[in-house]
Amino acid sequence: MVGSINNTAPANVGILALEFYHPAKFVDQTELEQFDGVSAGKYTIGLGQTQMGVCDDREDINSISLTVVKNLVEKHGLSFKDIGHLEVGTESIIDKSKSVKTVLMSLFEESGNHDVEGIDTKNACYGGTASVFNAINWIESSSWDGRLALVVAADIASYAEG
């Protein structure tokens, strides 16, 4: 049963639930190729993209992460009390002294769960992958207390022109 806590060694480790968020606004990649003055097909053929999501001034890495975690917990009938490890993989930062995980912990306040291990892993696209590995390692370790691990992989990439 999802959300039940036990202290036995895990028989297997896997993904129990998944949630996805993307910005509502997009840029057509054919138009961006023209705007950037690059060869036709650089983005559409070379990268296989037809559109690229773009955040507006009301979205940042924290709001995106808060939205996706809240939606995941609500849609899948989870409880913040049942989460013992929160790992964020990102290359995006707003406040160099405050992690995204710290911001996400505000969602845990009402449940009274303040004992949640984990960190932000900042390492471009690999940050999300490393966060998954860190969560698995926690579950397979003697530190695991039977609670769930939650991984957030979120980025707002900024690219140089062209």
**Could you give all domains of the chain from N- to C-terminal order, each with its CATH number?**
23-54 (no CATH), 60-153 (3.40.47.10)
Greater confidence, 160 or 41?
41
Residue range 65-84: average pLDDT?
97
pLDDT digits 0-9 by tens, 131-148: 999 999 999 999 999 999
Rounded mean pLDDT, 33-53: 95
The structure's pTM equals: 0.85
The three-state DSSP-derived secondary structure of 25-90 is EEEEHHHHHHHHCCCCCCCCCCCCCCEEEECCCCCCHHHHHHHHHHHHHHHCCCCHHHEEEEEEEE
